[in-house]
Chains A and B, each alone.
Chain A
């Protein structure tokens, strides 16, 4: 499932080209430009708040109600507008399990 991307020296990992989020490979500080490894090469993204290791941040603005992808698959829906570079977690992302 995990794409064989080059992770060397990257601060965060975007697993699939459709993904709206990246995962921090180390603790990231607010207001810094971080290097994100993507399937298409590395790119720099500014994180707007502190992101703990293994936590996710938005790669671009995500409007409320839109699907959020990781591994190229839908992991849930944005419950509010999410700004690029901010933390994506249970406060703004909700799954569908148990909600039929």
Chain B
């Protein structure tokens, strides 16, 4: 499978997009309404409006900055209309995104006399030009090594751990073997499996980073006085048959396949090399996925047991389930059916290549149900107080 390739959009920095989005990126809450108004005038454009602006401190400041710049730099974004309040901050973000060589137009409320209609007018004109230029690009053959896949699970049940997550793990292994990159996150769901992960860490330092990351999450839960039962596993997981976080975690980490773990990265932090990476991040799917897409993932493999409609807006998100009841109920929302493996009619190892085929097909332009239904969203984590 290492001979695989996909059809993607080449970017000036050598990265390859699985999509060719115009991103209208509002970096402050003040300009969100204008960004959405501009987006409504340019069908197909992706809009992300960060609800926060100033006053963020510490880790929030860093995650906010990395996430916005990272979404702009994601290879699936062909051009960016960047909107904000103050020219210096907008110029700094624009410069960081422009390093990729992609077109970036920056507009500020200050320069529009704080007239939102002027900002809207200038924004629509600029976005229209960017969108037309983007339409001139064509897909070309790209190697598997240009692909960065993210694994995620939401509303898991035991079918996720038995079938869907191992299927994703098989694709992750294939991408890694082909020289590409892969990431899984949801730190809390590594609980009880650290010894298994550490055995795959490339060195002692990575092994201790894995243990430290899990300990910090558990400390946070203890400090907050949270009983993890009912939170993680959550009510849906419990109803579906998952009893403990350890049980859920054994399924969760199966998304990470079997290859060596290169390192632990922070939310929205781009992996410095090929291979499999673990992102130390919140487990809630919307923010977990945005963190991985802001790190550069161009394709998301998202498993669900009981059903979960959430997808990312910038990276196509393939929904995978193996629960026969869920597959029957959500037949026009789940992209990949692993039910035959769950029911024992087929071997897991025979079905992995089929998921790989779908991954390559979607990377090359086939739409996911989430894209057809326009379920995409971005959520950037907030950690603490703001000033």
* A interface with B by C-beta (< 8 Å): 1-2, 4, 6-10, 13, 15, 23, 25-26, 37, 52-56, 70-71, 73-76, 88-90, 93-98, 100
Considering only CB atoms, which chain A residue lies closest to B346 in the complex?
A7
Which of B161, B163, B226, B341 has the most chain A CB within a 10 Å cutoff? B161
Q: In the complex the two chains form, is B344's CB within 8 Å of A10's CB?
A: yes
* B interface with A by C-beta (< 8 Å): 157-159, 161-163, 166, 169, 191-193, 196, 218, 221-222, 226-229, 232, 238, 240-241, 243-247, 250, 253-254, 305, 323-325, 341-345, 347-349
Q: In the complex the two chains form, is A76's CB within 8 Å of B247's CB?
A: yes
Which of B162, B218, B343 makes the CB contact (< 8 A) with A2?
A: B162
Which of A4, A7, A95 makes the CB contact (< 8 A) with B245?
A: A95
Considering only CB atoms, which chain A residue lies closest to B242 in the complex?
A54
Which of A74, A90, A98 has the most chain B CB within a 10 Å cutoff? A98
Report if A75-B243 is in contact (Cβ < 8 Å); known contacts: A37-B344, A54-B323: yes
The minimal Cβ–Cβ distance linking A66 to chain B, given in whole angstroms, is 14
Complex Cα spacing A91 to B347, Å: 33
Report if A23-B229 is in contact (Cβ < 8 Å); known contacts: A88-B243, A95-B246: no
Q: In the complex the two chains form, is A90's CB within 8 Å of B238's CB?
A: yes
Q: In the complex the two chains form, is A96's CB within 8 Å of B192's CB?
A: yes
Complex Cα spacing A25 to B341, Å: 11
Q: In the complex the two chains form, is B241's CB within 8 Å of A76's CB?
A: no
Complex Cα spacing A52 to B157, Å: 12
Chain B residues near A90: list those with CB within 8 A: 229, 238, 243-244
Which of B232, B254, B325, B341 makes the CB contact (< 8 A) with A1?
A: B254
Considering only CB atoms, which chain A residue lies closest to B258 in the complex?
A1
Report if A25-B250 is in contact (Cβ < 8 Å); known contacts: A89-B243, A90-B229: no
Which of A6, A56, A97 makes the CB contact (< 8 A) with B246?
A: A97
Complex Cα spacing A10 to B159, Å: 15
Chain B residues near A93: list those with CB within 8 A: 243-244
Chain B residues near A74: list those with CB within 8 A: 192, 246
